[in-house]
Amino acid sequence: MHAALRFARAATGRNTVVRFEGHYHGWFSDIAVSGPGTPPAAADRPVPLPPVAASAGLGRDHDVLVARWNDPIGLETLLRERGSEIAAVIMEPVPLAGVLEPLPGYLEAVRALTERHGIVLIFDEVVTGFRAGLAGAQGRFGVVPDVTVLGKALGAGLPISAVAGRSAVLDTAAGPAPHMGTFNGHPLATAAALAALECYMRPGFDARLERLAGQLADGLRKVGERHGHDLAVHRLGALLQTHFVRDPGRLADYADVTARTDRAAAGAFAESLLRRGVYLPPRNTWMLSSAHTDADIDLVLDRADTALAGMRECTA
C-alpha cells in the first residue's frame, strides 16, 4: 500500500490522498486515520471529515482527506475544491468493515471523477482480491482502477503483496519512486502465489466457492430468523459478514454499521461458536477457502443454530 501511494504521488507530482471513513489500508502513518474502530463523523458533517487516528503517533492529517463511502456528491464537492492537490483516491471497493457493497453507479462515479481531475484511483483488494472472484471486486463490478493492491489470498497463506496497474503510474518505480525491500520477490512466497493462481484459474473453482458461500449465507439467515435474531448477512463471493442489526434497512456506510449494529451481540455469537469448535472473528467476518466442504458448511450451520438459540434464551 505504501508503494502504491508513493507511485501515485510520483506520477502526479501531488501529495494529498483521499481515503474513506472505516476503510482499512494498513498501519503506517500516511494513511492510518479514520479506519475501523475509530468513531465516525456526525452525519451532517461536510467533507472532508476530521481524520481520527487510532492511536498516538498514527496519522498525518495534513496530507490525508477523509470522505464518506457511498457518497458521490460529497466526493464530487471535495475533488472540485481540492482536486489540483490530490494525488490519489484510495478505497476498498467493498470495505471489510461491514462487507458493504457500493450503491449502484457509485464506483463508476468515482472512476469518472478521478479521471476528470487527473487523480490516481487505487483499489485496495488485499481482502477482496480472488475472494470476490478471479478478477476481484473490480471484475465483479466492472470498474477498473489505475492501481490495484493485492495480498492475503494471493499467497494462499504465505506473506506476499503485489501492486498492479497502469504503466504510467508503475513506471515511476524505475525513476523517482524506486521500490526496494528485503523480501521483494521472495522465492518461497512467489512460488506459493504462482501455485495459488493456477488453482484459482481452474474451471469451476470460483463456482464451487460461490455455491458454498451462498449455502452458508442462506443458512445463517434461516437460523437467525428461526431464533428471532435480526441477522443481516452481507456476502461478496467467498467473503461474508454477519450483522446483528438494531433496525431494518440497508447498511450503506461505516457510520451505519457503527450506529445500527450490535457489536456486543456479534462478539457473543463469536464466543459461543468458539466454545463449539468454530472460530469466527469477533467482527463476524467469514472467509471461505477451497479447503472447505459441504460437510463443513453443514457443521457450521448446526453450531450456529445452537449458538443463536442459546443467545435468544439468555436475552429472553
- Reported pTM: 0.94
Contacts of 158 (CB under 8 A, 6+ apart): 188, 189, 192, 193
All residue ranges of the chain with pLDDT < 50 are 316
Render pLDDT for 103-138 as a digit per residue (tens, 0 to 9). Answer: 999 999 999 999 999 999 999 999 999 999 999 999
Model pLDDT, residue 25 = 93
DSSP state of 154: G
Is 24 annotated in the active site?
yes
Q: Measured between alpha carbons, how far is 234 from 257 in angstroms, rounded to an integer?
A: 12
Given this model, what pLDDT does residue 61 score? 54
SS3 letters for 180-244? CCCCCCCHHHHHHHHHHHHHHCCCCHHHHHHHHHHHHHHHHHHHHHHCCCCEEEEEECCEEEEEE
Predicted local confidence at residue 316, as pLDDT = 46
